[in-house]
């Protein structure tokens, strides 16, 4: 099977309107330290907090923001708390991909009527700044889509959280919004979850990559990308394919212990400045050998940037029929080889860097080899 690239049909009939990503919540072992990492290394501002000091006894949550990206880092204060169980099993990872909707009750009713499994029923939370309605549906692994209705809320994040700010001066690194968010699922699970997004949440299939597109000498995977009605949300779904050695998807599943979020791609308008700052802040990126740059311009043609800058920072380049893109991948950001980040700058291109898959997967294999998991 060959790669199919198909633009989602533009239609007025969006059967599940979503305005965009509301927030991404991580369950972590130590939210206080993780919050400092995201401020110091990734340039996020601390904007809100909930914990015992605000009347919430069992867990703490730190809310961080940069551009339109909002992360929530939550940790348990007692061993029998759900977050503690989740972290013991999965390590630090993404629990919630929250979707911003106009009517959370209606969205929940539609999703469950179409077969979505409920995570929790709709409920209201209020404070002096107004009211929020939330509901939850389950997706792959233990990941949840919280549906957030915030049209009657004017506070900084949600009722129960108090506004706060970073203790130290934070320098933003230019991250603007979540470009896409990738899930790794078990062998055979990709089509099931693509169908879930298509039939329940009204997403369209954008692109299919098979194991001929995404393979090296040793490892392979398959991937399909789905996108919501307005195109703001893109979810690639990966599953492992048969290779000579263990694929990076299998390694992820072995360590995360279930399907889950593999990487979050965040967009910047100036990847050279962003990556320069991230490297200075101590963020670790995958290494791509210098020979990648020897013939890359033959493949991608003219680019506005100085190739020496891209080479120095190890930024990858790819082109499709609409333009080109620049991208780079961090190493995992927690102890287990699970969640990592992609930094992406789109200069017209709407695809995902297919031309870089080989270089990227070889870079991941070098890391797997060091971990003894290839």
- Interface residues with Fe ion (CB under 5 A) are 265, 342
Closer to Fe ion at the Cβ: 92 or 342? 342
Closer to Fe ion at the Cβ: 342 or 365? 342
Closer to Fe ion at the Cβ: 251 or 342? 342
Contact 47, 165 (CB under 8 A): yes
Closer to Fe ion at the Cβ: 262 or 368? 262
CA distance 30 to 16: 36
Read off the tokens for 197. 């997004």
Residue with tokens 């297919």: 354
Cβ 47 to Fe ion shortest distance, Å: 26
CA distance 82 to 79: 8
Contact 237, 252 (CB under 8 A): no
Closer to Fe ion at the Cβ: 201 or 265? 265
Element containing residue 224 per DSSP (H, E) = strand 220-227
Number of Cβ within 10 Å of residue 318's Cβ equals 20
CA distance 207 to 229: 15
Closer to Fe ion at the Cβ: 249 or 265? 265
Cβ 346 to Fe ion shortest distance, Å: 12
Cβ 248 to Fe ion shortest distance, Å: 13
Closer to Fe ion at the Cβ: 265 or 364? 265
Strands (DSSP E) contained in the chain are 4-5, 20-27, 45-50, 59-66, 69-76, 93-101, 118-127, 130-138, 144-149, 162-163, 175-184, 204-209, 220-227, 234-241, 260-268, 316-320, 323-329, 340-347
Closer to Fe ion at the Cβ: 49 or 329? 329
Cβ 364 to Fe ion shortest distance, Å: 12
Cβ 356 to Fe ion shortest distance, Å: 10
Cβ 264 to Fe ion shortest distance, Å: 9
CA distance 181 to 7: 18
Separation in Å, CA 39 to CA 65, 191, 255, 272, 343: 9, 37, 26, 20, 16
Cβ 157 to Fe ion shortest distance, Å: 27
Cβ 223 to Fe ion shortest distance, Å: 9
Cβ 17 to Fe ion shortest distance, Å: 25
Cβ 235 to Fe ion shortest distance, Å: 11
Q: Which of 145, 141, 27 is nearest to 81 (CA)?
A: 27
Q: What angle do CA 166, 172, 173 make, to 5 degrees?
A: 145
Residue with tokens 């989602």: 8
Which residues sit opposite 130 in a β-bridge? 127, 153
CA distance 35 to 269: 24
Closer to Fe ion at the Cβ: 137 or 271? 271
Closer to Fe ion at the Cβ: 147 or 288? 288
CA distance 18 to 158: 19
CA distance 215 to 364: 12
Q: Which of 332, 188, 158, 343 is nearest to 262 (CA)?
A: 332
């Amino acid at each position: 099977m060959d790669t199919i690239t198909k633009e989602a049909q533009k239609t007025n009939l969006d059967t599940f309107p979503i305005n965009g990503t509301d927030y991404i919540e991580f369950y972590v072992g130590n939210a206080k330290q993780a919050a400092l990492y995201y401020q110091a290394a990734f340039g996020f501002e601390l904007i809100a907090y909930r914990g015992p000091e605000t009347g919430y006894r069992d867990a703490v949550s730190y809310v961080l923001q940069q551009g339109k990206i909002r992360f929530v880092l939550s940790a348990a204060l007692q061993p029998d708390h759900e977050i503690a169980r989740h972290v013991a099993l999965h390590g630090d990872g993404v629990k919630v991909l929250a979707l911003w909707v106009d009517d959370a009750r209606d969205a929940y009713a539609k999703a469950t009527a179409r077969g979505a499994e409920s995570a929790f029923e709709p409920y209201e939370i209020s404070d002096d700044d107004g009211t929020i309605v939330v509901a939850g549906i389950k997706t792959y692994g233990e990941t949840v889509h919280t549906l957030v209705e915030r049209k009657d809320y004017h506070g900084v994040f949600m009722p129960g959280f108090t506004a706060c700010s970073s203790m130290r001066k934070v320098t933003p690194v230019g991250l603007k919004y979540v470009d896409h968010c990738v899930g790794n699922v078990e062998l055979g699970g990709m089509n099931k979850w693509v169908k879930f997004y298509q039939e329940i949440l009204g997403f369209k299939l954008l692109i299919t990559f098979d194991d001929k597109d995404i393979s090296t000498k040793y490892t392979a995977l398959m991937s399909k990308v789905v996108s919501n009605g307005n195109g703001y949300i893109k979810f690639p779904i990966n599953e492992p394919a048969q290779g000579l050695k263990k694929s990076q998807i299998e390694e992820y599943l072995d360590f995360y212990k279930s399907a889950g979020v593999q990487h979050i791609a965040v967009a910047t308008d100036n990847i050279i400045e962003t990556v320069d700052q991230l490297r200075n802040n101590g963020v670790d990126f995958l290494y791509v050998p210098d020979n990648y740059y020897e013939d890359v311009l033959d493949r991608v043609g003219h680019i506005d940037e100085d190739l020496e800058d891209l080479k120095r920072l190890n930024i990858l380049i790819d082109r499709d029929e609409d333009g080109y893109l620049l991208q780079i991948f961090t190493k995992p950001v927690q102890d287990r080889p699970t969640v990592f980040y992609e930094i992406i700058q789109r200069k017209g291109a709407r695809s995902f860097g297919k031309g870089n898959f080989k270089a990227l997967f070889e870079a991941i294999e070098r890391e797997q080899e060091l971990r003894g998991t290839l």
